[in-house]
């Protein structure tokens, strides 16, 4: 017997159903959780050959339109032999939390007021934070023409059995997001090589599949969101935005690929770690008189484009432009064109 509960922030309702009903319900789960469910039940089935049984609790939010809804399975048992011992109380739970501000996983964790020892990890290409028994993944959900950032929380209970901890680790290893994004891309430096993500390409190469672009854009959104308070704080302290009157190729402007980004701007901001774009390369400069990295012609003091709106084609950099004491431009060259994130794009 399985117990399925639908719970939101206001009320809790318990609905008993049988296993056959649950298996049918599982068939309607799509996208990100499809591979997750498949892996979990495969793992449990393998344990069956050893003997014993497990009770697994899932805490899932599956619908973007009702983000506070939680679906979980309690009391799902795999029994071997003619008799079974007392049920385990171990639980693995998942919750999906809207991340409307597009914070990075570390920043989101800090804004919750959590006190722990978080460590950065990567889950299916997305940046994540692990604090003990809990992992927080900042990943995208693609719905129609929009990209939504979510925090995917997964955790297991205290004093869990070793087998539960092992299953948790395997879930993290095999967890796949954006299963509705299935297009195959090519590696940037080896166009004859097909890829789904960067792991399919060489060490210095990267994948141009739609999912890889989404992962990089989620990182770009987080970087821009997290840099803005630093710039706004500079304005409060100094009464004006960073002017960059010297130390950069063009007065009042810099790109994350230019030396002035990590030197002049960072030093003026009092920050030694302004983020750079995940790719951080300019496109074809158009003429060999330009430096291939910076697209700057030192002889004519000319840049191969206009900042911020007309960079060389296929450029992937962050842009800062001083406008006046109160205003500035801080943007990224996004690889995707989802309508609800266009405000972050330099175009």
Would you place residue 271 in the very low, low, confident or very high pLDDT band (cuts 50, 70, 90)? Answer: confident
Count of the separate structural domains present in the chain: 2
Q: Are residues 37 and 165 in the same domain?
A: yes
Q: Are residues 249 and 140 in the same domain?
A: no
Residue 41's pLDDT is: 46
In the beta sheet, which residues pair with residue 70?
7
Residue 113's pLDDT is: 94
Would you place residue 87 in the very low, low, confident or very high pLDDT band (cuts 50, 70, 90)? Answer: low
SS3 for the chain is CEEEEEECCCCEEEEEECHHHHHHHHCCCCCHHHHHHHHHHHHHHHHHCCCCCCEECCCECCCCCCCCCEEEEECEECCCCCCCCCCCCCCEEEEEEECCCCCCHHHHHHHCCCCCCCEEEEECCEEEEEECCEEEEEEEEEECCEEEEEEEEEEECCCCCHHHHHHHHHHHHHCCCCCCCCCCEEECCCCCCEECCHHHCCCCCCECCHHHHHHHHHHHHHHHHHHHHHHHHHHHHHCCCCCCCCCCCECCEEECCCHHHHHHHHHHHCCCCCCCCCCCECCCCCCCCCCCCCCEECCCCEECCECCCECCCCCECEEEEEEECCEEEEEECCCCCCHHHHHHECC
Residue 272's pLDDT is: 75
Q: Are residues 138 and 25 in the same domain?
A: yes
Would you place residue 89 in the very low, low, confident or very high pLDDT band (cuts 50, 70, 90)? Answer: confident
Q: Which residues of 90-114 are buried (b: 16+ CB within 10 A; e: fewer)?
A: bbbbbbbeebeebbbbbbbbeeeee
Q: Are residues 167 and 31 in the same domain?
A: yes
| Beta carbons of 317 and 333 less than 8 angstroms apart | yes
Q: Are residues 244 and 168 in the same domain?
A: no
The percent of residues in the chain predicted with pLDDT above 90, rounded, is: 68
24 vs 267, residue with greater confidence: 267
Q: Are residues 166 and 247 in the same domain?
A: no
Number of Cα atoms under 13 Å in the Cβ half of residue 231: 21
Q: Which of 70-74, 185-189, 232-236, 290-294 has the lowest mean pLDDT?
A: 70-74
Residue 60 pLDDT exceeds 60: no
Q: Which of 62-71, 177-186, 320-329 has the lowest mean pLDDT?
A: 62-71
Q: Are residues 155 and 260 in the same domain?
A: no
141 vs 182, residue with greater confidence: 141
Q: Are residues 170 and 243 in the same domain?
A: no
Residue 188 in any domain: the answer is no
Residue 273's pLDDT is: 81
Q: What are 297-310's pLDDT values in tens digits?
A: 999 999 999 999 89
Residue 279's pLDDT is: 96
20 vs 261, residue with greater confidence: 261
In the beta sheet, which residues pair with residue 309?
none
Residue 341's pLDDT is: 96
Residue 199 pLDDT exceeds 60: yes
Residue 225 in any domain: the answer is no
Residue 23 in any domain: the answer is yes
Q: Of 174, 203, 218, which residue sits at a domain end? A: 174
What are the structure tokens assigned to 311, written together? 């960079």
Q: Of 119, 146, 174, which residue sits at a domain end? A: 174
Residue 243 pLDDT exceeds 60: yes
| Beta carbons of 222 and 234 less than 8 angstroms apart | no
Q: Are residues 16 and 114 in the same domain?
A: yes
- pLDDT, the chain, mean: 80
Would you place residue 24 in the very low, low, confident or very high pLDDT band (cuts 50, 70, 90)? Answer: very low
Residue 55 pLDDT exceeds 70: no
The predicted model gives 105-131 an average pLDDT of 96
Residue 226 in any domain: the answer is no
The predicted model gives 84-97 an average pLDDT of 78
Q: Are residues 162 and 247 in the same domain?
A: no
Residue 198 pLDDT exceeds 60: yes
The percent of residues in the chain predicted with pLDDT above 70, rounded, is: 75
Residue 286 in any domain: the answer is yes
What is the residue range of 142's domain? Answer: 2-174
Q: Are residues 169 and 21 in the same domain?
A: yes
Q: Which of 56-60, 262-266, 341-345 has the lowest mean pLDDT?
A: 56-60
Q: Of 140, 174, 208, which residue sits at a domain end? A: 174
The predicted model gives 155-179 an average pLDDT of 94
């Amino acid at each position: 017997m399985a117990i399925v509960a639908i719970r939101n922030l206001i009320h809790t309702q318990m609905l008993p159903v049988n296993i056959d009903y649950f298996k049918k319900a599982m068939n309607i789960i799509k996208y990100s959780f499809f591979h997750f469910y498949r892996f979990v039940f495969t793992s449990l089935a393998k344990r069956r050959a050893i003997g014993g049984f497990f009770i697994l609790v899932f805490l899932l939010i599956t619908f973007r339109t009702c983000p506070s809804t939680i679906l979980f399975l309690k009391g799902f048992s795999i029994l071997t032999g003619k008799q079974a011992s007392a049920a385990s109380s171990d639980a693995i739970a998942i919750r999906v939390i809207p991340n409307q501000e597009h914070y990075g996983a570390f920043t989101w964790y800090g804004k919750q007021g959590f006190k722990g020892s978080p460590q950065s990890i990567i889950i299916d290409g997305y940046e994540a934070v692990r604090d003990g028994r809990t992992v927080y993944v900042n990943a995208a959900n693609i719905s129609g023409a929009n990209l939504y950032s979510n925090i995917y929380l997964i955790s297991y209970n205290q004093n869990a059995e070793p087998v539960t901890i092992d299953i948790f680790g395997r879930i993290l290893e095999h967890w796949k997001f954006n299963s509705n994004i299935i297009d195959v891309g090519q590696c940037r430096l080896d166009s004859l090589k097909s890829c789904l993500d960067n792991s399919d390409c060489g060490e210095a190469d990267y994948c141009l599949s739609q999912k890889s672009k989404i992962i990089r854009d989620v990182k770009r959104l987080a970087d821009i969101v997290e840099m803005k308070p630093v710039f706004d704080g500079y304005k409060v302290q100094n009464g004006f935005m960073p002017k960059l009157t010297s130390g950069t190729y063009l007065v009042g402007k810099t790109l994350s690929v230019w030396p002035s980004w990590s030197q002049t701007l960072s030093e003026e901001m009092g920050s030694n770690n302004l983020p750079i774009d995940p790719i951080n390369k300019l496109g074809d400069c158009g003429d060999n008189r330009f430096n291939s990295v910076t697209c700057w012609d030192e002889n004519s003091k000319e840049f191969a484009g206009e900042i911020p709106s007309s960079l060389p084609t296929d450029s992937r950099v962050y842009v800062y432009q001083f406008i006046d004491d109160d205003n500035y431009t801080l943007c990224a060259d996004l690889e995707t064109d989802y309508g609800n994130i266009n405000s972050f794009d330099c175009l």
